[in-house]
Amino acid sequence: MTWEVLNIIGTMAFAISGAIVAMEERYDIFGVYLLGYVTAFGGGAFRNLLVGLPISDIWAQGTLFTVAFVTMTIMFLIPFHWLMTWNRWGAFFDAIGLASFAVQGGLLALAAGYPLSAVIVAGVLTGCGGGIIRDLLAGRKPMVLHQEIYAMWAVLGAFIVGLGVIDTQTEIYILLAGIVMMRSLSIIYKWELPSRLNWLKLIHFKNK
Amino acid sequence: MTWEVLNIIGTMAFAISGAIVAMEERYDIFGVYLLGYVTAFGGGAFRNLLVGLPISDIWAQGTLFTVAFVTMTIMFLIPFHWLMTWNRWGAFFDAIGLASFAVQGGLLALAAGYPLSAVIVAGVLTGCGGGIIRDLLAGRKPMVLHQEIYAMWAVLGAFIVGLGVIDTQTEIYILLAGIVMMRSLSIIYKWELPSRLNWLKLIHFKNK
Amino acid sequence: MTWEVLNIIGTMAFAISGAIVAMEERYDIFGVYLLGYVTAFGGGAFRNLLVGLPISDIWAQGTLFTVAFVTMTIMFLIPFHWLMTWNRWGAFFDAIGLASFAVQGGLLALAAGYPLSAVIVAGVLTGCGGGIIRDLLAGRKPMVLHQEIYAMWAVLGAFIVGLGVIDTQTEIYILLAGIVMMRSLSIIYKWELPSRLNWLKLIHFKNK
């Protein structure tokens, strides 16, 4: 039951993020629905593809499809200042989606007997894959590759799952809460992963 | 036999649209062939992936591969003013491709026993998936997400197929003709789906 | 044993090219690893998808995963002038990767009994697919579609494989050496495939 609640929260948050990106890109209502669906379900489909589960499994999620549809329709119709309110809470719900999708993806791959590398990839794809496809369809560079720490918490969560140390329901809750907290702190304090900006400068310097 | 003729028209129209996009992006002849093939066959491959059919089925379409190859080679070689003539007729043949691919994709998913949501996705992907991949490979925002009504007619066609009300050959022809007509009217009268442009303005206003 | 050595060289060269593109785009360390992995393993995964082999086969390449990880970590840490040295040799190793991946992909599809068209696509995807995904994730137009002749050597190699004339180990070596040489000459002499630039000019002229 708990996974169901977490999945509904995650699906709504991801569908909304897709819908907002589509509206920012001036896409029409078809684009809004497409990006919303892709963000919410693309990661799971992609994970099934890479870990060898049937992709057609995604069609069994009828309830979540309806949840996403209703959510996006509301998003498209509500007054602007309500959308603004969303911005304050959106990142928090998105973090819940990230955590629950990543941990579930990891557990799925673990149960299917895959090695640690596949468990991590399954967790990251389930958590971040939808957002990457969303950004590509919006003509943007994938957000997770260059903004505040996002995917790394999915990596960490799936890594812990992959070690096989998570057994009880309570341990799963603690892991989920930990990921949500770390992701929230990443936004509040604008944590960033290291990058090699100077490399770029060097290239430019060399070309001039 | 009729499907074969429609498939040949659709494959040619889609291959040409891919080839033209590639030429506009100054891609070389490899890029021209690649974008043409991706536009013509990418949607069907993507649909097979999502509805759980073997993707390797696409290799059985040897005749259509040859049709696409010859079509693109001609496109690359003919004088410019003939290409101009194409522009007048291209959208009409493209509409035939959209209609026949969408309806066939929907019928395929229906026959495989999938729910309405999957039938719609299968129809839309078969009709529009190739064009989306083409635009991504050309570094563009997918045309179907923000221009005149295109994908929505695939949605509508697949929806009608998914309701299971299409039984006879005649009904299929009427459906196909209806989609082609609606798509053609969309171009002539520049119909557009609603979008939330003001949302964008609000964001910009807020950031300034 | 020889394939193993070639695969290690190719994996390292492809992982490095992904890591460099990610650094040029100012991606963080997660983006560096992701683009590196995608470049090195994305082509093979994509090929398995299209020729109907299990995609989950990729998880058996544990050793190559580790090779790629170590390679990219070194890339992220070494001083700049060593990276510069790489640029001189990188294209050569990349050509080895292109040749060995394309030939292996083609042989795989041939052994699975596919027609010539599928053998060519399998070879091209294995050799170039990773680089295409890398460029899409970097928000770039795929390099292989518009720069010096690259993919065409994979096409040629896979075509020769698909003819079934390659039987002995020696013939494979000659084919590999030929592809590496042709690719190297393409860079040195800046060979380019024909494109239709004038077409673009015409379109622009017409619109003005």
**pLDDT tens readout for residues B4-40:** 888 898 899 999 989 888 888 888 889 999 999 999 9
Which residue would you say has higher pLDDT here, A123 or B197? A123
Instruction: Name every residue whose Cβ is closer than 8 Å to that of residue C36 and which is 6 or more positions away in sequence.
Output: C14, C15, C16, C18, C19, C22, C68, C71, C72, C75
Contact across the interface for B58 and C50, Cβ inside 8 Å: yes
In chain C, which residues have their Cβ closer than 8 Å to the Cβ of B72? none
Q: pLDDT band at A207, cuts 50/70/90? A: very low
Q: pLDDT band at A54, cuts 50/70/90? A: confident
Cα gap A193→C30, rounded to integer Å: 8
Cα gap B44→C191, rounded to integer Å: 35
Question: Which among C131, A142, A58, C82 is positioned nearest to B50, based on CA atoms?
Answer: A58
The answer to whether residue A76 scores a pLDDT higher than 90 is no
**ipTM for the whole complex:** 0.86
Q: Which residues of A touch C (CB under 8 A)?
A: 49-52, 114-115, 117-118, 132, 136, 140-142, 144-146, 151-152, 155, 192-200, 202-203, 206
Successive 10-residue mean pLDDT values, chain C, 208 residues: 82 90 87 93 90 84 91 82 71 88 92 90 92 93 86 93 88 92 89 68 48
Phi, psi of A140, rounded to the nearest 5 degrees: -115, 160
Confidence at residue C191, expressed as pLDDT on a 0 to 100 scale: 85
The answer to whether residue B189 scores a pLDDT higher than 60 is yes
Do residues A29 and B195 make contact, with C-beta atoms less than 8 angstroms apart? Answer: yes
In chain B, which residues have their Cβ closer than 8 Å to the Cβ of A58? 50
Question: Which among A122, A96, A115 is positioned nearest to A179, based on CA atoms?
Answer: A96
**pLDDT tens readout for residues C105-123:** 999 999 988 889 889 999 9
Confidence at residue C207, expressed as pLDDT on a 0 to 100 scale: 47
Q: pLDDT band at A82, cuts 50/70/90? A: confident
Q: Other C-beta atoms within 10 Å of A163: how many?
A: 11
Instruction: Name every residue whose Cβ is closer than 8 Å to that of residue A54 and which is 6 or more positions away in sequence.
Output: A48, B52
In chain B, which residues have their Cβ closer than 8 Å to the Cβ of C114? 56, 59
Alpha carbon C95 to its chain centroid, in Å, reads 8
What does the mean pLDDT of chain C come to? 86
Q: How far is CA C18 from CA B73, C65, C134, C137, in A?
A: 33, 14, 6, 10
Closest CB from A142, A194, A206 relative to C29: A194
Mean pLDDT confidence for A177-187: 91
The residue of chain B nearest to residue C112, with distances taken between CA atoms, is: B56
Mind telling me how many Å the CA of A157 is from chain B's nearest CA?
28
Instruction: Name every residue whose Cβ is closer than 8 Å to that of residue B14 and which is 6 or more positions away in sequence.
Output: B36, B39, B40, B94, B97, B101, B130, B131
Mean pLDDT confidence for B49-67: 86
Closest CB from B26, B49, B76 relative to C200: B26
HSE-CB of B25 using CA atoms within 13 angstroms = 29
Confidence at residue B207, expressed as pLDDT on a 0 to 100 scale: 47
Q: pLDDT band at A1, cuts 50/70/90? A: low
Amino acid at position A48, single letter = N
Contact across the interface for C151 and B30, Cβ inside 8 Å: yes
Phi, psi of C195, rounded to the nearest 5 degrees: -140, 170
Confidence at residue A208, expressed as pLDDT on a 0 to 100 scale: 41
Mean pLDDT confidence for B175-191: 90
Here the tokens at position B101 are 């691919």
Q: A41-50, B188-197, C31-40, C129-138 — which is least confidently predicted?
A: B188-197
Cα gap B51→A154, rounded to integer Å: 28
Task: Please give the radius of gyration of chain A, using alpha carbons only, rounded to the nearest integer.
Answer: 18
CB contact burial B138-149 (16+ within 10 A = b; e otherwise): beebbbbbbbbb
Closest CB from B25, B58, B65 relative to C141: B25
The alpha carbon dihedral of B168, B174, B180, B185 has a sign of negative
Mean pLDDT confidence for A78-85: 72
Contact across the interface for C24 and A118, Cβ inside 8 Å: no
Mean pLDDT confidence for A153-179: 91
Do residues A22 and A31 make contact, with C-beta atoms less than 8 angstroms apart? Answer: yes
Helical H segments across C52-142, by residue range: 62-77, 80-111, 116-124, 130-137
The answer to whether residue A87 scores a pLDDT higher than 70 is no
Write down how long chain C is: 208
Confidence at residue C208, expressed as pLDDT on a 0 to 100 scale: 41
Here the tokens at position B149 are 């009504």
The answer to whether residue A190 scores a pLDDT higher than 70 is yes
